Amino acid sequence: MSLVYRSDIDGLRAVAILTVVAFHAFPEVFPGGFIGVDVFFVISGFLITSILQHEIKIGQWSLSSFYARRILRIFPALTLVLLACLVAGWHMLLAQEYKELGKHLSLGAVFLSNIGLWWEVGYFDKASEVKPLLHLWSLAIEEQFYIVWPILLWLFLRSRASAGRSVAALTLVSLLLSIWWVWSDRTQAFYSPASRAWELLAGAWLALQPQRLQSFPTVVRALAVAVLACLTMFLDADVPFPGVVALLPVLAAVILVGTPARSDLTGRFLGLPWMVALGKVSYPWYLWHWPLLSFTYIIESGQASVGLRLGLVLASLLLATLTYRYWELPLRQLPSRLVVSLMVVTIAILGLLGKNIYDRHGLERIRHKNLIQLDQASSQDFLDFEKQGLITEAKCEKPFKFPERDVCLQAHVDKPVSAVVLGDSHAVHAFWGLAEALDAQGQNLAVRGKGACVPVMALKPGTTASDCEGHMETTLRDIAADSQIRTVALVFRGRYLTAQSSQQERNDFEKKLDATLALLQASGKQVYYFLPVVEPGFDPRLCMGALPLGRKPPYSCVIDKTADDAQSEAVRLSAARVLTRWPQVRVVDPNTQLCNEGHCPIMKDGHSIFKDENHLSHAGSMRLSESLNGVNR
């Protein structure tokens, strides 16, 4: 490579990064600053194509060397920022937020951020402000373009047809696609590489023109700068973009890049030392500025003060400068093969870590117990009962089945079982309260059932369509045949049917429940049917504990019962139709003890009623004894 360095292009990079940072930090003042990305696309297309064209012409073109240079250019700062976000997120973000960060980190590591965001929400959506890696979409589009562009350019230059005309045709197709999609699917138009390629191709076309655009007078160059400034100040996010509107910043960039620097006002402005310096650190500045603003938005639960945002902008510039001088430049002095290998391995590890965080739901079990500060009494409500705390390691002949272990719970291990609570994991968490209530009646309670399984028979006796049905039918028949068991409580989560469940699914549930009640009644058991318990739908610690850095709780510690009832309505209505045929069954509504006038407080007497987003804590379980005692006998 022996291309002439142009300081004015670094100056134009400075213009681009300043507009983007201004938009992200002060969108109320610079609502159109997002056009800086379009300027970056043109610059990138021009420079990369210029280098590739030169190498192809002198016979030194190599795909491996091209991608090695891309890795050396892109990966060092990117790996540093991804690692920093991973560490910062560990200390600042809640589980769902960290889960989303993990997803975006893994997508960013493989340059698919734009595809992931395409399926989420738009770039201008308020939700975008809580995504610290949102800005990697543009980097992804560039790298996706450069997967195919070197080969395409090589083919164009080797063909008899004019490479410039071929690139112009591709540019037009991509532009027309952008114009079409911006009206039919704006998010697709914004994030798709197909509808963004024309901006990179515009720079590529420019690189293939032997005379550039030197005939444009000074006034046109000055007008191009003015257009960029006006768009930054006055372009509204509501305007369909990219499409036709994006032609303005792209053409302005083409004029400024295509006409070599002069001694006129525009040339002197772009060549100012501080502008060139900003241009050199524009890439790491782009990477650093948005995570700082986004993390602060999350912590502040909204837009930070103007002073704080300005401070964050300066801090990100400092980080960019340090990254460039003490990380990027030193790495360039090392053997390129070593650095490329190191960077590829590092980004692969980061991507896998991100996927692991996403797959494990933000590592909630590990992090929330340390991230959220609770007093000692309240912390006892969040014991993992399936593995420690109130559940012992005792073995028994007929345990409750969890996927990872068997659980034995019996009020009095030295007495025969006379009552059973049967169901899914909610039956386990109901045990302590029901055991106390039934103990007062001289009954010894044990837990039976299987995690995530409804305690009902199969549709036809002896036929089972799933492991759940097989286990439950065997358990129910065993209970029915045991003459010492007098009482059976059916407890399970009320979310197995939803508003979207088909009529066939509802009918099947009703037939299964009817067969279950028929079996238990025929064997002389007293049956208690528990209506669904209300659910927070989130980790209760998020509303009651002290969050990191003084964050405001994202949830209220009160459940809206009306809204919750809508979630379990399908199960309750189907069960009600069956229960009318079995008046001997005692229906228990635990929410009479948990709720008051449509509101269900998560905290009572200094304790959380719930252990997690839907299971009762020990304190909540003890409330069930009151609801059971309130049932008429």
Q: Which two tokens stand for residue 181?
A: 């999609």
Walking along the chain (633 residues) 10 residues at a time, the average pLDDT comes out as: 80 97 96 97 96 91 94 97 97 93 97 92 67 97 96 89 90 96 93 96 92 69 94 91 95 90 84 96 98 95 93 98 97 95 98 96 85 83 70 84 89 95 95 94 96 87 72 95 96 90 93 96 96 94 88 91 94 96 95 92 92 92 81 51
Tell me if 611 sits within 8 A of 382, measured CB to CB.
yes
Give the tens place of pLDDT for each residue, 358-399: 999 999 878 887 888 888 778 888 877 766 567 877 788 899
Structural domains of the chain in order of their starting residue, each with its CATH number: 7-368 (no CATH), 384-535+568-597 (3.40.50)
Longest dimension (CA), the chain: 102
Spatial distance between the Cα atoms of 459 and 246, rounded to a whole number of angstroms:
61
pTM of the model: 0.81
Tell me if 526 sits within 8 A of 486, measured CB to CB.
yes
Spatial distance between the Cα atoms of 8 and 289, rounded to a whole number of angstroms:
23
Closest CA to 434 of 424, 416, 421, 451: 421
Q: For strand 603-604 and strand 607-608, is the pairing parallel, antiparallel, or unpaired?
A: antiparallel
Give the tens place of pLDDT for each residue, 202-252: 999 999 987 655 566 788 889 999 999 999 999 988 899 999 999 999 999
Tell me if 89 sits within 8 A of 132, measured CB to CB.
yes
